[in-house]
């Protein structure tokens, strides 16, 4: 049967590879298969519930009948609270008219692209990275892809940016990064900011400026000696060219609560508001009112984060150490030491190996399938984040990880590796 002809976007857009993979895994689990599902960047609420104080405030907010349309830019209570929160925690000064609320990070990223990127505009982003390739496609931008390497923690370097910066309209940086769980260093971020400032000085008054989309959705989730840095604290002049993406989704295990915010120049925020007013991608009124109160409860937040971060770090380090132990035994696996977020970067390099029943693992897709089938380990290949389909690196997410199953999972993985020739 012939498919009806639709728009070029509909005909060429690829759906989320991660959601597609997650659906496949969920189906196998429903059919009774035990799988260690570390694919989706989400949380099992039975392991990682949202803060009890936030939950109580949301319930109270619904009981107070906060169920009407919110303001297109977000309720003033929440924008004031976000302003206070980022001042208290990051030392950033943003007025309510420089803050845009939306239902999580996705609509904010989309409207940043729509507000800045014209057809054919160059957008610089590193791979692997979350969804930049799809947002560039949806806005008809020109992909300017930086292939990032493990030597640089899979982050773009100033040198990478410098050779691509001419004519660009937008640079996309996420730190701590999804999918890698790694961070951009203070010096690298400062140098990239200097490149943006210098480039904008060279542009004529009537010429479009170069903006930085700075996604810091995971900025509170850093471990050990790792520190998060932001462009404005390092280079105050960057305030004119930086749009932040932030929110409660990851910091409070609140992916389904859907409250995110952008900080940026008033002119850009106003255009984002206009676009969002047509999309209607607002965070629900009750949740906005509740989050407005919760963000001011510093002691409650500190207590929650102390426990939450500790539980995340235990899982990340345990799995990392398990992979390093397998590597030391001679198996072709590796892991990048965890720095931040809820992700671990692992390597499973089995292309060219033969299974016990004589099947050759000819491609990385074969490796992914083998690890799922034999070790019951479900992880997301970096190819789902814009990297090449030959990459042996994967994202492992611990938001649904049960501590007591880690040793079991590593044992099954070793058994699967032992069977290969």
Percent of the chain past pLDDT 90, that is, above it, reads 90
Structure confidence at residue 151 (pLDDT): 95
HEC readout, the chain: CCCCCCCHHHHHCCCCHHHHHHHHHHHHHHCCCCCEECCCCCCCCCCCCCCHHHHHHHHHHHHCCCCCCCCCCCCHHHHHHHHHHHHHHHCCCCCHHHEEEECCHHHHHHHHHHHHCCCCCEEEEEECCCCHHHHHHHCCCEEEEEECCHHHCCCCCHHHHHCCCCCEEEEEEECCCCCCCCCCCHHHHHHHHHHHHHHHHHCCCCCCCCEEEEECCCCCCECCCCCCCCHHHHCHHHHHCEEEEEECCCCCCCCCCCCEEEECCHHHHHHHHHHHHHHCCCCCHHHHHHHHHHCCCHHHHHHHHHHHHHHHHHHHHHHHHHHHHHHHCCCCEEECCCCECCEEEEEECCCCCECCCCCECCCHHHHHHHHHHHHCEECEEHHHHCCCCCCCEEEEECCCCCHHHHHHHHHHHHHHHHCCC
What's the mean pLDDT in 150-176? 97
Residue 357 lies in a domain: yes
The pLDDT tens digits for 13-39 are 887 777 777 788 888 888 888 999 999
Percent of the chain past pLDDT 70, that is, above it, reads 100
For residue 144, pLDDT beyond 90: yes
Residue 156 lies in a domain: yes
What's the mean pLDDT in 242-268? 98
Q: Verify that 74 and 155 share a domain, yes or no.
A: yes
Q: Verify that 125 and 199 share a domain, yes or no.
A: yes
Q: Which domain holds residue 336?
A: 8-48+302-418
What's the mean pLDDT in 399-410? 96
Q: Verify that 129 and 57 share a domain, yes or no.
A: yes
10 confidence band (pLDDT: 50, 70, 90): confident
Residue 3 lies in a domain: no
For residue 340, pLDDT beyond 90: yes
Residue 358 lies in a domain: yes
Q: Verify that 250 and 356 share a domain, yes or no.
A: no
Work out the number of other CB atoms within 10 angstroms of the CB of residue 103: 21
Q: Verify that 18 and 113 share a domain, yes or no.
A: no
The pLDDT tens digits for 106-123 are 999 999 999 999 999 999
How big is the chain by its Cα radius of gyration, in Å? 22
For residue 359, pLDDT beyond 80: yes
* Environment class of 99 (CB within 10 Å of its CB; exposed 0-12, middle 13-18, buried 19+): buried
Residue 167 lies in a domain: yes
Q: Verify that 145 and 93 share a domain, yes or no.
A: yes
Give the chain's mean pLDDT: 95
11 confidence band (pLDDT: 50, 70, 90): confident
Domain end marker among 266, 297, 328: 297
The CATH number of residue 250's host domain is 3.40.640.10
Q: Is the peptide bond prior to 176 cis by the omega test (within 30 degrees of 0)? A: yes
Structure confidence at residue 21 (pLDDT): 79
Q: Verify that 239 and 368 share a domain, yes or no.
A: no
- Compute the half-sphere exposure of residue 137: CA atoms within 13 Å on the CB side of its CA: 14
Tokens of 248: 């409660």
Q: Look at 126 and 206; give whichever has higher pLDDT.
A: 126
14-23, 141-150, 165-174: the lowest-pLDDT one: 14-23
Residue 85 lies in a domain: yes
Q: Verify that 58 and 12 share a domain, yes or no.
A: no
Q: Verify that 317 and 172 share a domain, yes or no.
A: no
Q: What whole-number distance in Å separates Cα of residue 6 and Cα of residue 198?
A: 43
User: Domains in the chain: how many in total?
Assistant: 2
Residue 188 lies in a domain: yes
Residue 1 lies in a domain: no
For residue 2, pLDDT beyond 80: no
What's the mean pLDDT in 156-168? 97
Structure confidence at residue 1 (pLDDT): 59
What's the mean pLDDT in 147-155? 96
Identify whether the C-beta of residue 389 lies closer than 8 Å to the C-beta of residue 368: no
Domain end marker among 297, 329, 356: 297
Domain end marker among 278, 297, 316: 297
Identify whether the C-beta of residue 68 lies closer than 8 Å to the C-beta of residue 285: yes
Question: What is the distance in angstroms between the CA of the first residue and the CA of the last residue of the chain?
Answer: 44
Structure confidence at residue 283 (pLDDT): 98
Identify whether the C-beta of residue 272 lies closer than 8 Å to the C-beta of residue 111: yes
Q: Verify that 87 and 151 share a domain, yes or no.
A: yes
Q: Verify that 42 and 57 share a domain, yes or no.
A: no
Structure confidence at residue 95 (pLDDT): 98
The pLDDT tens digits for 294-330 are 999 999 999 999 999 999 999 999 999 999 999 999 9
The pLDDT tens digits for 183-200 are 999 999 999 999 999 999
Structure confidence at residue 389 (pLDDT): 86
Structure confidence at residue 366 (pLDDT): 93
What's the mean pLDDT in 362-385? 94
Tokens of 263: 């900080």
Q: Verify that 359 and 234 share a domain, yes or no.
A: no
Identify whether the C-beta of residue 262 lies closer than 8 Å to the C-beta of residue 245: yes
The CATH number of residue 411's host domain is 3.90.1150.10
């Amino acid at each position: 049967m012939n498919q009806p002809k639709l728009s070029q976007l509909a005909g060429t857009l690829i759906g989320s590879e991660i959601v597609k993979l997650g659906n496949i895994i969920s189906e196998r689990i429903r059919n009774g298969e035990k799988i260690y599902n570390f694919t989706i960047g989400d949380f099992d609420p039975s392991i990682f519930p949202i803060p009890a104080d936030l939950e109580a405030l949301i319930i109270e907010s619904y009981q107070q009948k906060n169920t009407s349309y919110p303001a297109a830019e977000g309720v003033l209570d929440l924008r004031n609270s976000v302003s206070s929160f980022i001042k208290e925690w990051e030392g950033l000064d943003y007025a309510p008219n420089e803050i845009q609320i939306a239902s999580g990070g996705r609509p904010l990223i989309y409207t940043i692209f729509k507000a800045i990127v014209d057809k054919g505009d160059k957008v610089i982003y590193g791979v692997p990275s979350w969804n930049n390739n799809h947002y560039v496609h949806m806005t008809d931008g020109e992909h300017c892809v930086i292939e990032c390497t493990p030597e640089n923690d899979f982050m773009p370097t100033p040198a990478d940016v410098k050779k691509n910066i001419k004519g660009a309209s937008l640079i996309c940086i996420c730190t701590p990064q999804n999918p890698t769980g790694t961070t951009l260093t203070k010096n690298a971020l400062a140098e990239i900011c200097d490149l943006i400032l210098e480039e904008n000085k060279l542009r004529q008054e009537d010429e479009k400026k170069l903006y930085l989309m700075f996604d810091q959705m995971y900025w509170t989730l850093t471990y050990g000696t790792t520190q998060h840095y932001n462009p404005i604290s390092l280079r105050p002049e960057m305030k004119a060219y930086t749009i932040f993406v932030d929110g409660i989704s990851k910091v409070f295990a609140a992916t389904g609560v859907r409250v995110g915010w952008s900080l940026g120049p008033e002119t850009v925020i106003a255009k984002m508001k206009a676009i969002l007013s047509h999309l209607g991608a607002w965070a629900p009124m009750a949740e906005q009112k509740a989050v407005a109160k919760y963000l001011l409860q510093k002691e409650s937040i500190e207590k929650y984060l102390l426990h939450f971060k500790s539980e995340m770090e235990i899982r990340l380090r345990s799995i990392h150490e398990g992979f390093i132990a397998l590597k030391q035994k001679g198996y072709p696996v590796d892991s990048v030491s965890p720095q931040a977020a809820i992700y671990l970067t692992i390597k499973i390099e089995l292309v060219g190996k033969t299974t016990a029943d004589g099947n050759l693992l000819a491609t990385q897709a074969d490796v992914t399938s083998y690890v799922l089938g034999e070790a019951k380990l479900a992880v997301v290949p970096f190819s789902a984040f814009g990297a090449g389909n030959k990459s042996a690196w994967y994202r492992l997410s611990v938001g649904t990880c049960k501590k007591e199953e880690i040793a079991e999972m590593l044992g099954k993985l070793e058994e699967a590796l032992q069977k290969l020739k």
